[in-house]
Structure 1
């Protein structure tokens, strides 16, 4: 089998969106599965819309997702001489010609064709004029007037296109820059791309590209067109369905492996398995299991997956990932070992890193603020005695751990005061965290440490005494 070479070729006219990331992922997995090569190419010939900021956003997103490339990034604007070389081949063999039709003339003839019920394609006016280079002239491809072009799609199966339906597309614009359909053929040909895996919005471009390959006498790559991603209303995925930028998910506290796992399942399946390691994805991935129908983006499913990946992560691995969220929230810095212990208590309940960071507030701030409703309900004068008894016992405790804390609480609250543990546990929780929901009480007491716990219990007792 020939060495597999795939490519991902985004246009730098904005951020890397979910659909583009899935295309890049499928190409990366296909190359890795076959031990081949994955190339990154930046299609930046649209000089009006292409920006350096967009290039950086795309590269940042690829790096965050760990979709490392073996070659590149290549930039089309740095390959103009290569395109000139292949244009000359097409001109020399009669497969291309110069055209001096102005935009106004083309528009007038388009309207005329529509009015007459004809297809509004280029009418071939300059085909046989034998024009050479000149100001404001473009180079067009001489499309065969008859016959059928067949796209043997690896995902969709054979698709047939009548050549008479296609027009003489422009290969080089009047500014000397190549058009997409021409540049992509030259790039894929010269980079020895064996498999072109891309979104099915490119299906109608493919027969034109096939004809250019044939005109150049070059072998075709294998084409596979992946169905698009839809929102839950079955419309094409857009911002109104939620975040569409890869890096927005990073900013919202998603883990890259969770997003990778979710994206690969948008259109690909391996039995009923939902959760995959990267190694499994590489081992199992193939285009034979890519569906032919569009996939529906489900934010709740992604959130569920992210929660799973957070839960399964090593706590110390999450600590540096939380730092930007702590900084944004204005929390003071704490030792990594302390934060890792706190992380472990929140892993079962946090769905995003942002949620986890918000839930860690009471671990990190010096003074907790009481939720007004929680304080009113639980930090009442009836709790003065319990707090008054607990504080001195905790002050005398030498080994401040979960086991000893639980024993002390049970002895004072249940045995001595004859109350249910929960009757006092919830007020203590509010005193320590400011809220009514948190990880296990004795877990958090053990992590906060003796000094902080006593400080917060005394503050709560003062609050109750002041009522």
Structure 2
């Protein structure tokens, strides 16, 4: 991605529609726009495109703000709201009408439907046929009574609209492929494609980074911008994010609010790192800091092909950042999550010691909480599952001997580890034959941190009591 505007301050924008939450695709667009501006010591603008009055809600606006705040994508200007700029849009539409680059169209919906049906029957491209488009020597129909007109942009009939896309390279669209776009509805409200052009021009946006679902809008917007006398920004269209199965990302894949990832125990640093790699690369670097991202993100190395969301890869990245995270902050989060789950930790082992053990295995803060909770609540033991294990040859006898030897063992990880090894050797067992039923008796589950570390943290009295209960002693 080249900038070509070296003398200008780089200005990017993120312009979400507040009709829902900030999802992964929107967050990635915001991240790329933010990182590009920060890399070039430019400015990042937040604009809320809220002209869809029926679907836009204050709750959605707040959800977008919350997501931006959690990811720490700070903006230099805004948020600007399009509904507060209606007078400006109407003034620009009046300008186009006055200079002959827009016109009133009185076609009714029935007439438009008939027009399209006829085009289908004749195998023609579905488009507005220019009935109300003024041309030299053309006599227009008389405006019908009682019909409020829309305003259409008078798109050039010939020539080519082209731009060097920052991601996809040179793109050219024949004007013959485009029809006359509606830029104001019957009630006078301007449409999306028009508002975007005015905003990008007047906010001096130099680079527009957005999803490639907008490529079809770009030639129309360029033509409107030229008619207004504005300077064309550089456009970069990034491919969509696919689910692990190669299909369009949906809720079943994880297309949920980025705030939900916070609730599920992901760190913002991990999400930033992971999102950055969904369509961009810096060599083979998989893990990098926010500062490194800004230092590297000059706009090159953006992929032209769709990226696939991999929840397991996200967990791997998050596990890395959890291990790098300040321990006091992890402890505060762990206390809060345990408290919300109704788990009291004051009367058990020191939470800091538990954190050291469970952090090895956890990939999210929620998993960290669940693993830590094992040390502060009574286990829910599946008696049938436990009995099946105890019925295997030598297991019950080995655990009985192990229980009896606990009184004399040095209560450290090393001492308990040595006793486990001695017991399995004396009874000619494999490690899982002893460790699995031990885990169930002590925690209620079969997947835990190392069993010697679990016992060391639970304490002698608790371990002895739970094993005795499990063995029926």
TM score, norm. by length of structure 1: 0.87
| Residue of structure 2 equivalent to 1:153 | 165
Equivalences for residues 59-458 of structure 1 within 5 A:
59-128=65-134, 129=140, 136-322=148-334, 325-327=337-339, 329-334=341-346, 338-365=350-377, 367-372=378-383, 373-374=385-386, 377=389, 380=396, 383-391=399-407, 393=408, 402=412, 406-407=414-415, 410=418, 414=422, 429-448=439-458, 450=459, 453-458=460-465
**Deviation at 1:409?**
7.2
Q: Which shows bigger deviation, 239-248 or 338-347?
A: 239-248
* CA offset digits 1:188-244 (Å, max 9, x no partner): 111111100001111110011001110011111111111122233433222343444
In the alignment of these two chains, the number of paired residues is 453
User: Residues 333 and 461 of structure 1: is their aligned pair in 2 closer, same or farther, counting only changes over 3 Å?
Assistant: closer
Distance in 1 between the 2:145 and 2:10 partners?
39
Contact 1:368/1:434, CA 8 A, preserved across alignment: yes
Structure 1 stretches lacking a partner, 5+ long:
none
Q: Which has the higher helix share?
A: 1
Q: After superposition, give the CA deviation of every residue in 1:85-131 in whole Å (9 maximum; x if it has no partner).
A: 21122122111122221111111112122323332211222223597
Give the one of 10, 34, 45 matched to 2:51.
Answer: 45
- Cα deviation digits, residues 6-47 of structure 1 (max 9, x gap): 111111112222111111111011011111111111111111
Structure 1 residues 223 and 132: alpha-carbon distance in aligned structure 2, compared to 1, 3 A threshold: farther
| Deviation readout 1:281-314 (Å, 9 max, x if unpaired) | 0000122210112222222222222222223323
- The CA deviation at 1:456 is 4.0
Q: Confirm or deny: 8 A CA contact 2:12 2:45 kept in the other structure.
A: yes
Say which SS state the counterpart of residue 375 (structure 2) adopts.
helix
SS of 2:380's equivalent? coil
SS in 2 for 1:364: coil
Give 5+ residue unaligned stretches, structure 2: 1-5, 135-139
SS in 2 for 1:97: strand
CA distance in 1, matches of 2:58, 2:209: 25
Contact 2:416 2:452 in 1 (8 A): no
**TM-fit CA distance, 1:465:** 4.5
TM superposition shift of 1:136: 2.5
Q: Please state whether the residue corresponding to 2:205 is helix, strand or coil.
A: coil
TM-score between the two structures when normalised by the length of structure 2: 0.86
Deviation for aligned residue 1:432 = 3.7
Q: Tell me the alpha carbon deviations over residues 385-419 of structure 1, each in whole angstroms, 9 at most, x when there is no partner.
A: 5434424x57xx8xx7x3xx63477489959x967
- Distance 1:116-1:314 versus aligned 2 partners, 3 A rule: same
- The two structures, once aligned, show a CA RMSD in angstroms of 3.1
Match of 1:460 in 2: 467
| CA distance in 2 between partners of 1:57 and 1:303 (Å) | 23
Deviation at residue 257 of structure 1 after TM alignment: 1.9
